[in-house]
Amino acid sequence: MRAFEIGAAALLCLLGVRSLVYWIRRPLASRSLRDQLLYALWVTGRVGLWLAVAGVFAISASIHREGRAFLDEFHRYRWYFYVPLTLAVIQLVAGMLLARSRRD
């Protein structure tokens, strides 16, 4: 089972790097500083979400127990689930604010 988790973490990391390269190459057409900052937040949320989900699999792969012991050990990392949640909220809010902004 660890091989699956390590493979999933590696794949999600690669997708995160791909996402970063893809969105960095596409500049925002707006000259507004507000829009540029919102776009930077949106890209950060998008790329960070890939990497944060990869982190969930990496944490799971690092635990060498099974059954109830695995769940007890995984419970120590429950705080980490706030990381992808926060990044998803950042991406959502930044995207919504960008959609509502006035175009130049």
pLDDT, tens digit (0-9, with 9 covering 90-100), for 72-84: 788 888 899 999 9
pLDDT more than 70, % of the chain = 95
CA distance 9 to 42: 22
Q: How confident is the model at residue 29 (pLDDT cuts 50, 70, 90)?
A: confident
Say what the pLDDT of residue 104 is. 47
More confident residue, 28 or 103: 28
Residue from 18, 81, 74, 5 nearest 47 by CA: 18
CA distance 102 to 81: 34
CA distance 90 to 88: 5
pTM value is: 0.84
CA distance 4 to 98: 37
| Enclosing domain of residue 14 | 2-100
Q: What average pLDDT does the structure give for the chain?
A: 90
Q: What is the mean pLDDT of residues 10-22?
A: 97
**How many domains in the chain?**
1
Tokens, residue 43: 């890209």
